[in-house]
Structure 1
Amino acid sequence: MEKSILKKFFKYVSLNVLGMMGTSFYVLIDTFFISKAEGALGMAALNFSIPVFCVIQGLGLMIGIGGATRYSILKSQKQDREANIVFSTCIKAGIIISFLLVMIGAFASEFLASTLGADMSTLAMTKAYMLTILCFAPFFILNNIIIAFVRNDSNPKLSMAAMLSGSFSNIILDYILMFPFGLGMFGAAFATCLAQIVSIGVLSIHFIKKKNNFKYVYDKGNKSFISDIFSLGLSSFVNEISTSAVFIAFNLVILNLKGNLGVASYGIVANVSIVAISMFIGIAQGVQPLISRFYGLGEYKTVRKVLKFSLFTSVIVAAVIYAGIYFNTHDIIRIFNSEQSAEIAHITESGLKIYFIGFLFAGINIIMSTYLSAMEYAKEGFTISLLRGCVIIVPLVLLLSRVWGMTGVWSSFVLAECIVTMLVIFMAGFRKKVQIKNKIKTKSEVKCINA
């Protein structure tokens, strides 16, 4: 039995980690090509745009993961019609939210760019990237929704293939649009947007071959389903928004400390970290279908085994990532520091070596928030995501940057994730005590009845 669970665990996790890494390369590839085409100012402009990208991704994941979680539980309980209504509700919600984002892009992209820190030297590039991403928001959101449902419909291989296809097409399109065509920041953003369409095209195979167990049904919708989907996916949304909040806070603080070169340095650290984060999100989203399915079937011991495998894998991955970063710092900086700026190299080196210690804790926090949401403990999952997203890290970066400058900025991420992990351990211990008390109380009540 345990071998079977372990086999399923590695299948879902490995495929999803590969897929998520592919998705994360969208931004990393943009960083590389922009550094070559536009230099440090282009990298700074990209960094100012990333929060908007994270918001769009977060909304897609909230609807997709939340809906797919409920879908998986309903399917395990043989409630097929309700499962189809959940999918249909997700598609409707995605289209409505996408329309609002397109409107924001069309009428408020310049305002957003200046609000997020872009100055006269970076405003035009930031606006170009941001406007393009927002106008293609429907494809980003629908792609995330369909990927989540295909994965939960026992087809993790296709969801991985879709994510990797999007990533590879982004590499090719980035080069073509930025260099032969000379489209600059617009070309980088447009390539990322077209990659979403490629991914959706690959996912369509699930429907063409009629392997899908879900379909769109015409239903007026259920308000309780909408709130349920949003609550179950809220931790995934906050995990993405946390990246956005950290980007905004760090950009503004670093801009004040080191100017645009400092922001460009943070761009290297942050964009490499997106790949690292994607691995932990990959583990979390990979086990979500298993946790939701076994939870729906009432197999709670199996759920706990899946959690143990996840946490152990997270710690191993974090250690490997840090070792890779520590021993290859100069090579990583050389790839993105196209102008060979000594100041960018100096700031980035200390940033990589300090910042990435935080992933020893961040992986645990990401997995626990997804785990709790997958078991319908939406409030607890949301709390963990919110704490690590902005409640703790934003005050820390403002405080520590004043005390230790850039060292304080990098250390704030490590300290914030460590504090959240300690709170997670406390929450888990408290919940276990409550469960033990409830069991003792139930047993005593049964004895009294029998007596």
Structure 2
Amino acid sequence: MSERRMFFRDVAPSVMAFALSGVYTIVDGFFVGNSLGDSGLAAINLGFPIAAFIQAAGTGAGLSGAIRFTILRGQKRENEARACFSSTVLLLALISILLTGGIFAALSPLLRLLGAEGELLRLTADYIWVIALGAVFQAFATGLVPFIRNLGGAGFAMWAMIAGFVTNIGLDYLFVWVYGLGMAGAAWATIAGQAATMLLTVFYLVKKKIGFAVPRGRQLAGFFGAILKVAAAPFGLTFSPQITTILMNRFLLRYGGEQSVAVYGCIAYITAITYLLLQGVGDGSQPLISRFYSEGNLPVMRQMRKLAYLTGGAIAAACMAGFFLLRRDVGILFGASVQTCESVALYLPLYLLALIFLFYVRITTAFLYATEKSVLSYILVYAEPAAILVLLLTLPRLPALGLLGVWLAVPLAQMLTGGVSVFIRLRVDRQIMREAAAGPGCG
């Protein structure tokens, strides 16, 4: 099989799955926004980072475990690979319990920290209470899918995510529009969709007969440590848009009020589709990069990465053009007011321009954690939110900018991070060449 065909065989289903996941993220906003208007849209935008945190935690642990699993199998260490899978499942269960308990214990202070007050606090709490209750479904749905992709089941992973997507849409329509359950109805639809995906992933893994055996204490602790060491990168890559949302919501509330939050909610939902498409390229290429890296086949590994950059660039360009042409219709999709729609059309192009830099950062970060370059992947993942915070603390204070300074912070931070990613990638290439010269194998 040619390298190009191998790449697209694995990456195309992953991109399709994340494309649906991108629509998945805006489904609740669509139904709630058209039911409750700007208040509902602002509330779901304020609360969504908590739901995204749960999914990112599952993605981080699951993808990290799947990377280690793939490298161990590539090195023919089957027993250790099985123990790695079992440890990841136990870690996902532990994460689910801790997140549910933690959110329930600190719900009101947490929502106030995110900027929810008054009626927005009540609406957001209705949504998050249900989301926390279903944390186990979300963590396992996102955490087990990477194992399916790494076992060659990219197509099945896509259909599992499609099943969750369809379930979510159907139940959103029933719960929010037909039965009028509002925010809580949207949340019940979300966790039901995640439960559908989780059940299908469990079915696939049982059929594959990977085996499950609880590792002994020291081995379990060792796998927990190894998984968590790498997990911070895919977690951050998945959750960083929500870190941005949290920061933007706080500063937009301060400088522009509730209506500005509704504007950013529309922009965030639309740009999230592009982020997830790019994550689909990165996560779809990860099993191939991890495999050829562990085997010491660096020329093919670099070819996989090159194809990932080219595919990511093409997706970013297509999204820039398509969303720019439709910029005046984005707010209408979410039932936003006329003023909100006009503001979305005004500010969205700034965020589309930054996609030129964002695609390079996303693919580079996926390459870094696929090859277990943990520290450098951390730097690249968290450089963007750190830069956004600095810019938000400085730009709006300038008399000539004010609210415009808040809107400029994200695209400027993404441009800066793009420059950092070029430097890091060149450094890692030199490091990998030294590893190859030192002896066979890179694991």
**Length-normalised TM-score, structure 1:** 0.92
> What is the identity percentage for the equivalent residue pairs of Structure 1 and Structure 2?
28
Q: Does 1:374 align with 2:370?
A: yes
Q: Does 1:273 align with 2:271?
A: yes
Q: Does 1:345 align with 2:353?
A: no
Consecutive unaligned residues in structure 2, runs of 5 or more: none
Separation in 2, partners of 1:406, 1:162: 42
Q: Does 1:188 align with 2:183?
A: no
Q: Does 1:139 align with 2:137?
A: yes
Pick closer, same or farther for the CA change 1:55–1:184 going to 2, 3 Å. same
- Residues 404-443 of structure 1: matches in 2 within 5 Å? 404-432=401-429
Q: How far apart are 1:53 and its partner, in Å?
A: 1.5
Q: How far apart are 1:102 and its partner, in Å?
A: 1.2
Q: Does 1:100 align with 2:111?
A: no
Separation in 2, partners of 1:400, 1:21: 34
Instruction: Indicate conservation of the 8 Å contact 2:330/2:344, yes or no.
Output: no
Q: How far apart are 1:422 and its partner, in Å?
A: 1.0
Question: Partner of 1:248 in structure 2?
Answer: 246
Separation in 1, partners of 2:152, 2:66: 11
- Residues 2-401 of structure 1: matches in 2 within 5 Å? 4-207=2-205, 210=207, 212=208, 214-220=210-216, 221-336=219-334, 338=335, 341-388=337-384, 390-401=385-396
Q: How far apart are 1:24 and its partner, in Å?
A: 2.5
Separation in 1, partners of 2:428, 2:172: 49
Q: How far apart are 1:434 and its partner, in Å?
A: 5.9
Instruction: Indicate conservation of the 8 Å contact 1:18/1:164, yes or no.
Output: no
Separation in 2, partners of 1:436, 1:38: 56
Q: How far apart are 1:438 and its partner, in Å?
A: 8.6
Separation in 1, partners of 2:326, 2:242: 27
Separation in 2, partners of 1:160, 1:244: 24
Instruction: Indicate conservation of the 8 Å contact 2:65/2:85, yes or no.
Output: yes
Q: How far apart are 1:407 and its partner, in Å?
A: 3.1
Separation in 2, partners of 1:405, 1:25: 33
Equivalent position amino acid for 1:249 in 2:
L
Pick closer, same or farther for the CA change 1:204–1:330 going to 2, 3 Å. same
SS in 2 for 1:329: coil
Equivalent position amino acid for 1:346 in 2:
E
Residue-by-residue CA offset, 1:144-188 (whole Å, 9 max, x unaligned): 121111111111111110111111111100000012211100000
183-192 or 398-407: bigger deviation: 398-407
Separation in 2, partners of 1:242, 1:116: 15
Pick closer, same or farther for the CA change 1:169–1:318 going to 2, 3 Å. same
Greater gyration radius: 1
Instruction: Indicate conservation of the 8 Å contact 1:101/1:135, yes or no.
Output: no
CA RMSD of aligned residues (A): 1.9
Separation in 1, partners of 2:104, 2:35: 26
Equivalent position amino acid for 1:419 in 2:
L
Residue-by-residue CA offset, 1:236-286 (whole Å, 9 max, x unaligned): 111123122111110011111221111111100011111111001100000
SS in 1 for 2:178: coil
Equivalent position amino acid for 2:236 in 1:
V
Separation in 2, partners of 1:369, 1:407: 30
Consecutive unaligned residues in structure 1, runs of 5 or more: 444-451
**Length-normalised TM-score, structure 2:** 0.94
Equivalenced residue count is 435
